[in-house]
Amino acid sequence: MDSYSTNEALFGRRKVRFAYDLPIGVASLAKAIGASDPAQLIREHTLYPFFVALLEQRQRDEVLRAMLSDLKVHNKVLGRLSHVPRPEFLRFCPACDLANEANAGMRYWQRRHQLPTSLVCVEHRIPLRASSVTTSSGVQRYELVSEPQVQGSPLLPEMGEPSLERFLHLASVGYDLLDWQGKARPAFDPSLRTMVLETGYRRSPGHDDIDNVRLAREFRRDSADLIRLWPWLAKAVNTAGHYGWVTMHTTRDAPPSRVTFTYAVLRSYLQLKKSSFFFPAETRDWTGIHVDLSAVERRRRMESLTEKELKKLVSTTIDQILLEQPPVRALPTEIFRRSPAIAHAWRIDLGGQFRSLLTDRAESLDSFHLRVIRYALTEASRNDRTLSDSDLLHLLGKRTIDEVRKLRAVVERDGFGTDKPSFGARSLE
C-alpha cells in the first residue's frame, strides 16, 4: 500500500501528519482500527505519559484532548514540551529486533527506545542505534524495521561499567516516567528538592537552603559523557547561582520545573550519588558515534561542506533508497527526509544550487516504474504466481497498458528474480 491508502485505512483521510512521539488525530485512528478506547492508545503507545508526568491534571487533560482531536491545534503545553531534546532518527536495539523477530515473527519500533533518556537498551545492556528513519514529520511514510533502515551508528561509544551503568540508570528512570500509564498523578516521592537536601547539598545545618552552585559544579564534574551529548546541560546554574535547569527543579517556589527530561537526569544523578556511585572521569573515543545535532550546529556543519561533499552525501542517500523494498521513488522529498542534513540544506537552499542538484539527481518515473515491476514480478515468481499486464497497470496507475507492456518487456529482457543490485539509472527505450 502507498502512504495515502494507508492513511485512508487508518484515519479515513489521505493526508495525515502523525508525529512519532505526541501524535494528534488518535480518535480517528482508534475508530478506523476498531479500538474502543482512544485514550488507552495514547497512554500505552505514545510518549504521552513521559512528557506529561510532571504536569497538573488540567494540563495533562489538555494535551490528551489535543492528541485525540484531528485539528492541528496550537497547544501551549505541547509547545513547551518541544524544549526537550528529540532524537533526529528513530532508535532501535539490534538485540531486541532479533528477539522480537523470534518471539513475535517481526521487528517493530519500540516506544521506550524513543525516549530522550534512552541511549542504551536496559534489557540487553548495549547502546541503542540511530536508524535512517527521521523523526521529523515533514514528509511521511510508514516504515518497517527492515534491514536497510537499521544499519545506523550506535548512540554511545564502547564503555565498560560503570560508565554504562550511568546510562542504564538514566534509561530506567525514563522507563519509570513512561510506565505509569498517564492516569492518576504518579507519586514521584521524594521530590528532587528533598533528595538534594538529603544528598548533602544543604547550605548550612538547620537551614533548608540548597547549595545549588556546588551541586552544579559536581554534576558537571561527574557528567562528562552526558554533557558531551547535550552541551546545554552544563548550564545547570547561571553565573549568579540562579535559574539554571537544576535550580528550576530544586526551587522552593511552586511550581518546580515540569520538564521531564531534566527531571530524569537530575533524579538519576542524585540516586546514584546517594548510593556512593563511582563517577568515572576518563574520556572515550567518540569516532563513528551518532550524536544528535542541535539545529544551529547542523546549519554550521552544512554550510562548511564543499559542493563535492554535498554531492557525495546526496549520492549515498540515493543509494540507500534504491536498496529499499518495496521500491520507493528517489525524489527530492524522499532524499531529504532520510537525512536531516540534506533537509536543512534544502530549506536554506545552500548557495542557490542545492535544490537544482537534488532535482537533477531525482529518479525518473520510468526508472522507478521499472523497479516496481521488477520487484512485483520477483515477488510473484517467488510465490509461484504470475501477474498480468493489467495487474501491473493497477500497481503503477497513470500509465497506458501499452506503456506497461513496454516496461515489462525491458524488465523481462534483463531478467528478474536475480540479485541485480542496482538498476536505478536505466530508462525506457
How far does CA 149 lie from the centroid of its chain? 12
By beta-carbon proximity to Zn ion, the closer residue of 96 and 236 is 96
Min dist. Cβ of residue 340 to Zn ion (A): 25
Question: Grid coordinates in use for 413?
Answer: 529482457
Min dist. Cβ of residue 96 to Zn ion (A): 3
Over the window 85 to 124, marking each residue x when it contacts Zn ion by CB under 5 A and - when it does not, the resulting string is --------x-xx------------------------x-xx
Of 159-198, binders to Zn ion (CB under 5 A) are none
- Strands (E) in 267-344, as ranges, are none
Min dist. Cβ of residue 167 to Zn ion (A): 13
By beta-carbon proximity to Zn ion, the closer residue of 46 and 110 is 110
Q: DSSP secondary-structure letter at 159?
A: -
Min dist. Cβ of residue 265 to Zn ion (A): 22
Question: Should residue 78 be labelled a site residue for Zn ion when binding is judged by CB under 5 A?
Answer: no
Min dist. Cβ of residue 269 to Zn ion (A): 24
* Total interface residues for Zn ion by CB under 5 A: 6
By beta-carbon proximity to Zn ion, the closer residue of 147 and 198 is 147
Rounded Cα distance, 156 and 164, in Å: 9
| Cα separation values, 357 from 305, 329, 345, 423, Å | 14, 17, 11, 21
Min dist. Cβ of residue 125 to Zn ion (A): 8
H or E stretch at 412: helix 401-414
In terms of Cβ atoms closer than 10 Å to its own Cβ (0-12, 13-18, 19+), residue 266 is buried
Rounded Cα distance, 17 and 72, in Å: 9
| Cα separation values, 169 from 105, 122, 165, 173, 176, Å | 30, 8, 6, 6, 11
Min dist. Cβ of residue 363 to Zn ion (A): 35
By beta-carbon proximity to Zn ion, the closer residue of 124 and 214 is 124
Min dist. Cβ of residue 320 to Zn ion (A): 24
DSSP string, 81-148: HTTS---SEEEE-HHHHHHHHHHHSS----GGGGSTT-SEETTTTEE-EEEEEE---SS-------TT
Q: How many Å is the maximal CA-CA distance in the chain? A: 90
By beta-carbon proximity to Zn ion, the closer residue of 56 and 123 is 123
By beta-carbon proximity to Zn ion, the closer residue of 96 and 150 is 96
By beta-carbon proximity to Zn ion, the closer residue of 99 and 428 is 99
- The residue assigned the cell 535550580 is 247
Question: Grid coordinates in use for 415?
Answer: 531478467
Cα–Cα–Cα angle for 256, 260, 261, nearest 5°?
A: 120
By beta-carbon proximity to Zn ion, the closer residue of 126 and 350 is 126
CB 24 within 8 A of CB 89: no
Rounded Cα distance, 244 and 236, in Å: 5
By beta-carbon proximity to Zn ion, the closer residue of 117 and 262 is 117
CB 294 within 8 A of CB 341: no
Min dist. Cβ of residue 114 to Zn ion (A): 13
Question: Would you tell me which residues interact with Zn ion (CB under 5 A)?
Answer: 93, 95-96, 121, 123-124
